[in-house]
Structure 1
Amino acid sequence: MGSMGAESRRMPFRLVGLAGLLALTLCGLATDARAQAVYGSIAGVVTDTSGAAVPGANVVITSIQRKTVDTVQTNATGFYEKARLLPGRYEVKAELAGFKSKVISAVNVSVDTQTKVDVKLDLGDISETITVNAAEGQLLKTDRADVATIFESKQLTELPVLDRNFTKFLLLTPGTQQQTWQHAASENPQGSTQTMVNGQTFSGTGWQLDGTDNRDVILGIVVVNSTLESIGESKITSQNYDAEFGQAVAGVVSVQTKSGTNSLHGSAFEFAQRDKFQARNPFNQPDKPNPVTGKVLPETKKDQFGASLGGPIQQNKWFFFGDYQGSRNTVGGSQLLTVPTAAARGGDLSAYGINIYDPRTGNPSQRQQFAGNIIPANRLSPQTQAILKLLPLPNAAGTDNGTRNNYIAQGSEAFDADQFNVRMDGRLSERLNAFGRYSFAKYSLSGPTAFGQGGGHELVSLGGNSKVKNHSVASGFDYTINSTTILDFRFGFYQYKVDVLPFDFGTTPAKDAGIPGLNFDDFSSGLPALFINGDRGFNMGSGLGVNRCNCPLAQNEKQWQVVSNLTKVLGNHTVKFGLDVRRALNLRVPSDAHRSGELSF
């Protein structure tokens, strides 16, 4: 093995697809407010009782939670539109002299979705008001053909989902299927589930967090797996998503984090799981307590806890939201494996029921059998004897004269996680809105190996040690230039930093055993990966193919992103220009081929 050479992948500026440099989307109708990655919109037509258009009517749109007010006027065809609205519930009021005012209450606005609210005015005094609940009206989506599933905050926090993992909600969308394999936990401690959408590869799904990219460009997984408490709404689009969402061939998952409201709201939670509530597996777990731990089952202890708080900084103008989630997990695992017997380690293979031939005699088809299938002590490799000392002896009766399935491995994996999100929203004027968000996630994973000092299979998800730190930043503003022109801008940044080490990092067992060319520095330290093929296949040591430890591994990935859109309403048409520029940098030193060596027999 060579010394640790830095493998560097540098990605220059990329102008992203159809959503890239000055991508022009010409929409068929003005009611089609396309691809609002952060916001939603309300649009409709105001008519009188005869169905004639009512031009010049004032339409006042008020946020029920934040009490912010936006006013637009209907055009000559009675059409109105208010784009760039934060997801939530709104009240729509239409008024014009000579007509009774009409209020449509509890109008729900979702991210990347236009809510159509048509208003019919009755003749009368403007001071008279008619109130209609939006649920009683017909708020159908007729402006676009995307196929999407929307999850609101209440659904996300109340639906039972294993480990409260947001990415598993994708499996509730029609046309999705979980990939048959998953990335190693050492590089994906955030638990991003690889899911195929409509048969496409999982890496073809675009992940957006507050309108900025949230997908690792190398592995195709989520960088920040948002806490459920932090999500205001999520939209999963599986077909006919818009060109604004570049780098997506399978689907788009848009997540909008919560913003504060005029009322102070908070929450707290704790979820706990213990091994005392689990049943013993009779096939690979003994019915007697472990002599070390005193327990029949390996220790399992899961605690997930957190809190959130949101509210006003300045009523009707500035709002904040923040949340924290922590996990302290000890997860037990058991495996029924095979290790060499004490007699076999001394050269006595008579119990294995196969003939052992001396490779130094005869030719490949006429070799002399060792007497009694016992290899003389002076013929045993000293290097092999040194490595065998790292393996534990059988601890179970086993089968086939005790030569197979004679070792029960038990152990517990430790996983700690800390995540938090903070967001601020500002209503700077009736024309200008701004927001900013910072998310941080830290993970620590330490898993035992089946054979202790001898390495071998992982008992849960990893045989080794992994530390990951992820950062994500999003900020932006939208500015209403005039009643028909809106400019929005967003900046995004993320960092995905991974460090993985083998369970025996810093040791020199191969060198100590007399195997030349191994363990010459820290990054080639530890046991090599040893593979013994055949019907009694056996692995020990460390490596990606042994215990899912791609180690040592050092990766530092960053991406910067600038997104800007200019939307212009021209009569019954909408013209939209978009710019999406990204620069990605990835410095990765992997161990796909184990740096301590790989020996196969």
Structure 2
Amino acid sequence: MRKSVSFGGLLVLALLCGLWASRASAQAVYGSIAGTVTDPQGAAVVGAKVIVRDQNKGTSTETTTNESGNYSVTHLVPDAYTVRIEAQGFKGTEAKDVIVNVDTSSRVDLQVQLGSASESVEVTSELPQLKTDRADVATTFDTKQIEDLPIYNRNFTTFQLLSPGTQRLNGWNHAASENPQGSQQILTNGQHFAGTAFELDGTDNQDPILGIIVINPNLDSINEVKITSQDYDAEFGKAIGAVVTSQTKSGSNDFHGSIFDFQRSNSNFAKNPFTQGLDKASVPGGNWNQFGGSVGGPIIKNKLFFFADYQATRSHVGGSSKDRIPTAAEVGGDLSAWNTPIFDP
């Protein structure tokens, strides 16, 4: 007798696998916050409570400082965070608007002041942005830059050209049948385009045979892009050119959305005065239309969120050509107007 597996069982198994994978995923998906907590004399504060709260989602993560006063909070989704320190005999101290980026560590060193724990001190000085935990050479684009930069055809892979040392491979492209997503072939530091590794939310997003991106995401769905061209981490061992890591958006405690529509029509194009004059053919008919949108928000505030996006492209492109129609004499067999001897070979 053949046994069948219920849809519910498969769904539970998929969820368990997803939860396990989220813990095993690489740092490329997330960022982190690390630092040292000291007292007014510069001595390490041991066992201080460190609370890291996402300012948009309201979610928080807690840890404590070690014997050296150091702390580290990893697996943080790129966003703006508030770091708060609480320790017995000291005033509460917090730093707001700490920006966390993909595959980077933001350092927040805080000094607590003697006083009651009910009192609070807010640190407003700008945090140092010098990287001391890694030596990679990278270009990062945040949500606003992704939205505002003029990207032709809204092609995500074009962002690679905005980093130094890149060049588009001209004169040869994959066939449209094997590259329907429109991935561009871009060289980095002289290396072959297939040497670029693409990561989407921590998963491999590169075709192992063609060497191009598999999912070319909608720009409205991207939260952050990091393009590393030199000295990337060992976890990206297969890359020889660049590493393009991208993080998609998630919902927050507020509802947000976007809608877009771009259209190019041949009716707005200028005529070629040599082949498309007043008494000649007009501009061929054609239209290119790209539209879509996104929406995100809370399902359970401070706990569960959703985000969805859609993009579609509709196009029909006309063309023009010049040809010669035989005259009535030529149709009847009279080719004398050609001024060319005709003979039977």
- TM-score, normalised to structure 1, is 0.50
Q: Distance in 2 between matches of 1:347 and 1:44?
A: 93
Q: Secondary structure at the match of 1:325?
A: strand
Evaluate the alpha carbon distance shift between residue 124 and residue 194 of structure 1 in structure 2; reply closer, same or farther with a 3 A threshold. same
Q: Secondary structure at the match of 1:262?
A: coil
Q: Secondary structure at the match of 2:27?
A: coil
Q: Secondary structure at the match of 2:150?
A: coil
Deviation at 1:141, TM superposition (A): 1.6
Q: Which residue of 2 aligns with 1:219?
A: 210
Q: Which residue of 2 aligns with 1:118?
A: 109
Query: 1:348·1:375 contact (CA, 8 Å) conserved in 2?
Result: no
Q: Distance in 1 between matches of 2:33 and 2:188?
A: 29
Q: Distance in 2 between matches of 1:137 and 1:164?
A: 34
Query: 1:350·1:373 contact (CA, 8 Å) conserved in 2?
Result: no
Query: 1:206·1:245 contact (CA, 8 Å) conserved in 2?
Result: yes
Evaluate the alpha carbon distance shift between residue 58 and residue 374 of structure 1 in structure 2; reply closer, same or farther with a 3 A threshold. same
Deviation at 1:348, TM superposition (A): 6.2
Match status 1:161 vs 2:148: no
- Identify unmatched segments of 5+ residues in structure 2: 1-24
Paired amino acid for 1:73: T
Among residues 211, 236, 246, which one is paired with 1:255 in the alignment?
Answer: 246
Summarize the alignment of residues 401-412 of structure 1 with structure 2, pairs less than 5 Å apart.
Answer: none
Q: Which residue of 1 aligns with 2:200?
A: 209
RMSD over aligned CA atoms reads 2.6
Match status 1:279 vs 2:274: no
Match status 1:145 vs 2:131: no
Q: Distance in 1 between matches of 2:343 and 2:30?
A: 75
Q: CA deviation digits over 1:312-353, x for unaligned, max 9?
A: 1122221111011111122344466x7797769x8969959x
Deviation at 1:122, TM superposition (A): 2.1
Deviation at 1:264, TM superposition (A): 1.6
Match status 1:231 vs 2:222: yes
Which structure carries more strand by proportion?
1
Which structure carries more helix by proportion?
2
Query: 1:62·1:92 contact (CA, 8 Å) conserved in 2?
Result: yes
Q: Distance in 1 between matches of 2:223 and 2:336?
A: 65
Q: CA deviation digits over 1:160-180, x for unaligned, max 9?
A: 111111111110001111112
Q: Which residue of 1 aligns with 2:284?
A: 298
Deviation at 1:281, TM superposition (A): 3.4
Q: Which residue of 2 aligns with 1:375?
A: 343
Query: 1:103·1:130 contact (CA, 8 Å) conserved in 2?
Result: yes
Evaluate the alpha carbon distance shift between residue 266 and residue 373 of structure 1 in structure 2; reply closer, same or farther with a 3 A threshold. same
Deviation at 1:289, TM superposition (A): 6.5
Deviation at 1:106, TM superposition (A): 0.8
Q: CA deviation digits over 1:486-538, x for unaligned, max 9?
A: xxxxxxxxxxxxxxxxxxxxxxxxxxxxxxxxxxxxxxxxxxxxxxxxxxxxx
Q: CA deviation digits over 1:426-447, x for unaligned, max 9?
A: xxxxxxxxxxxxxxxxxxxxxx
- Identify unmatched segments of 5+ residues in structure 1: 1-33, 353-371, 380-601
Query: 1:46·1:78 contact (CA, 8 Å) conserved in 2?
Result: yes
Q: Kindly indicate whether structure 1 or structure 2 has the higher relative contact order, using CA contacts under 8 Å at least 6 residues apart.
A: 1
The higher radius of gyration belongs to 1
Q: Which residue of 2 aligns with 1:310?
A: 296
Match status 1:328 vs 2:314: yes
Q: Distance in 2 between matches of 1:347 and 1:171?
A: 59
Q: Distance in 2 between matches of 1:340 and 1:83?
A: 73
Q: Which residue of 1 aligns with 2:13?
A: none
Match status 1:94 vs 2:85: yes
Q: Which residue of 1 aligns with 2:12?
A: none
Query: 1:348·1:373 contact (CA, 8 Å) conserved in 2?
Result: no
Q: Secondary structure at the match of 1:319?
A: strand
Evaluate the alpha carbon distance shift between residue 261 and residue 282 of structure 1 in structure 2; reply closer, same or farther with a 3 A threshold. same
Query: 2:26·2:202 contact (CA, 8 Å) conserved in 1?
Result: no
Deviation at 1:251, TM superposition (A): 0.8
- TM-score, normalised to structure 2, is 0.84
Q: Which residue of 2 aligns with 1:83?
A: 74
Aligned identity (percent) is 50
Query: 2:167·2:186 contact (CA, 8 Å) conserved in 1?
Result: yes
Query: 2:57·2:302 contact (CA, 8 Å) conserved in 1?
Result: yes
